[in-house]
Amino acid sequence: MNNQQIVFTAPGVVEWRTEAFDRPQLKATEVLVKKRFSLISPGTELACLSGGEQWFQMPQIPGYAAVSTVIEVGADVEHVAQGDLVFHYGKHCTYEIVRASELVVHVPNDLEPSIALFARLATVAFTALRVSEIELGDQVAVTGLGLVGNFAAQLAQLQGGVVTGMDLSKERVTLAQRCGIKQAVLSFSDIGPKKFNTFIEATGQPQVLHEALSWVAPFGECILLGTPRTDYTTNLTDVLRHTHLHEKGSVTLKGAHEWRYPMKAHPYEKHSMERNTRIVFELMRSGQLHVAPLISHMLKPQNAKEAYQGLSEAKEDYIGVLFDWVE
């Protein structure tokens, strides 16, 4: 058996490798899978490729989400069996050993595997809704209409919010409209004076958050969904006054990183990544969560260099990029 892999070997360097893979003796709680599809998370993986993430030490196989066929299960694994099609947080390689304690969820029979793959980014966006106080009829803004921001806008709309999405890219605004976002704009100035009860910041750009504070209604909330990665120098006092003073709005800042919730469902925990994933699957199956318009490229993994270069240099064309591992 050969294990084909996409490897980040140095900052900016993507390699395609083939290594011998001897079928392992699985531990009791392990699952051996073979990939069918894997999905790139543009923000996280490009940050890793740049060398900007300390937790990602090169050389290493990147990856964020996968749909795979179960090849073999350990003696204590009961929730999946050989031959099952499963969704999991997988890397960009043909074969992978996954721990049963991690998220390994059956893909519904009537859900296209390439669509199910996007549950990973939809559940990232789900975190913003979980921490929010969005109620029916609330005015909600989302800045950044990439994959995560697009899903956040769709989910906020499903939760009853009156959503306005904003992105500087005309193509992403149009794509958001195709996904059912009723109001997507290039600038909030296009919609006139309006204050938002909930402001979801999905770009990860600190200056966008600072500018957004003036758009939040009194006693509203600003939710940090995108991960800040760039330097930004400002007077912090102005930010603090927006959260403290009544005349500034008394805005509440909330972090919305996905790992605030446990991976697996637990009887004493309402929310988990597993529960969010199953809910997302149902929204996809019912057609309430739109995914197909977001798939811009389905490439063979041998073309990984093209994928990452496109995501870095042609952001308006490369939106949802997945690898097809089926031979």
Tokens 């912090």 sit on residue: 236
Q: Is the peptide bond before 59 cis (omega within 30 degrees of 0)?
A: yes
Residue 188 forms part of a structural domain: yes
Rounded to the nearest integer, the mean pLDDT of the chain is: 93
Q: Check whether residue 244 and residue 179 sit in a common domain.
A: yes
Q: Looking at the chain, list the stretches that DSSP marks H as alpha helix, in order from N- to C-terminal side.
A: 42-50, 113-116, 119-131, 147-158, 170-178, 206-212, 236-244, 273-285, 304-313
Which tens digits make up the pLDDT trace of 138-157? Answer: 999 999 999 999 999 999 99
Q: Check whether residue 147 and residue 249 sit in a common domain.
A: yes
Residue 283 forms part of a structural domain: no
Which tens digits make up the pLDDT trace of 35-55? Answer: 999 999 998 999 999 998 999
Residue 72 forms part of a structural domain: yes
pTM, entire model: 0.93
pLDDT score for 242: 82
Name the DSSP letter for residue 117. T
Q: What is the CATH number of the domain that holds 153?
A: 3.40.50.720
Stated as kind and residue range, the H or E segment containing 96 is strand 95-99
Residue 269 forms part of a structural domain: no
Domain boundaries, position 319: 2-118+291-324
pLDDT for 246 beyond 80: no
Radius of gyration of the chain (CA): 20
Q: Identify which has the larger pLDDT, 264 or 14.
A: 14
pLDDT score for 254: 94
Which tens digits make up the pLDDT trace of 73-109? Answer: 999 999 999 999 999 999 999 999 999 889 999 999 9
Q: Check whether residue 114 and residue 148 sit in a common domain.
A: no
Residue 282 forms part of a structural domain: no
Which region holds residue 63: left if phi is over 0, alpha if psi is between -120 and 50, else beta? left
Name the DSSP letter for residue 60. B
Residue 203 forms part of a structural domain: yes
Residue 91 forms part of a structural domain: yes
Q: Check whether residue 8 and residue 57 sit in a common domain.
A: yes
Q: Check whether residue 33 and residue 102 sit in a common domain.
A: yes
Hey, which of 40-44, 191-195, 320-324 has the most confident mean pLDDT?
320-324
Q: Check whether residue 82 and residue 34 sit in a common domain.
A: yes
Provide the number of structural domains found in the chain: 2
Non-local CB neighbours of 78 within 8 Å, separated by 6+ positions: none
Q: Check whether residue 131 and residue 231 sit in a common domain.
A: yes
Q: Check whether residue 114 and residue 129 sit in a common domain.
A: no
pLDDT score for 213: 87
**In which band, very low, low, confident or very high, does the pLDDT at 209 lie, cut at 50, 70 and 90?**
confident
Q: Check whether residue 240 and residue 131 sit in a common domain.
A: yes
Q: Check whether residue 90 and residue 187 sit in a common domain.
A: no
Residue 25 forms part of a structural domain: yes
Q: Check whether residue 202 and residue 308 sit in a common domain.
A: no
Taking the C-alpha atoms of residue 26 and residue 31, their distance in angstroms, rounded to an integer, is 7
